[in-house]
Amino acid sequence: MLLIDEHIIANKNIITSKEDIEEIGVIKDKPSRETHFYNLTANGILFAKLKKEIPYKTQAELNTFLDLDENNPVYVNGYLLEHNTYTIATESIAEMELVAPNKENNLAQTVINVWTLTQEERKNGCALSQME
């Protein structure tokens, strides 16, 4: 998971060169429950401040686009966004799906799941790339 400027969720493809990066940090272990990004990933989080502007959509905008209530829950890569301050980089959206309630997911209502991972990355994992 890549978190830009503390609120924009993106994937690694948003960084196209080393010159894009102003500052970068990593949390390798799952953070404690007290942190606002606790449930975004069990595999750590990469934080970045970039020198370029990143276009994004708010959770309310995504819900409205898919004709749902603007306060409807939004998930990213299967992780519930517990705070409405998180936004999603539009360039990082690989797929959006509506997930209807069923016996397996125990959802109370239909929700959006935004994938920032391609289907191949979901199946095989994400490869780390070296920037030139």
Annotated domain spans of the chain: 2-124
For every one of its 132 residues, what pLDDT tens digit does the chain have, with 9 covering 90 and above? 788 998 999 988 898 889 989 998 887 665 555 555 555 555 667 889 999 999 999 999 999 999 999 999 999 988 888 888 999 999 999 999 999 999 999 899 999 999 998 888 878 765 554 444
Distance, CA of 99 to CA of 112 (rounded, Å): 6
Q: What is the pLDDT of residue 29?
A: 63
Q: What is the pLDDT of residue 43?
A: 60
Under 8 Å between Cβ of 104 and 80: no
Q: What is the pLDDT of residue 2?
A: 85
The DSSP code for 49 is E
Q: What is the pLDDT of residue 40?
A: 58
The DSSP code for 51 is S
The structure's pTM equals 0.81
Those residues with Cβ within 8 angstroms of residue 54's Cβ, 6 or more apart along the chain or in another chain: 4, 5, 8, 10, 14, 89, 91
Q: What is the pLDDT of residue 34?
A: 56
Class of residue 113 by CB neighbours under 10 A (exposed 0-12, middle 13-18, buried 19+): middle
Q: What is the pLDDT of residue 127?
A: 57
Q: What is the pLDDT of residue 132?
A: 41
Q: What is the pLDDT of residue 53?
A: 92
Q: What is the pLDDT of residue 131?
A: 42
Q: Residue 53 in 3-state DSSP?
A: coil
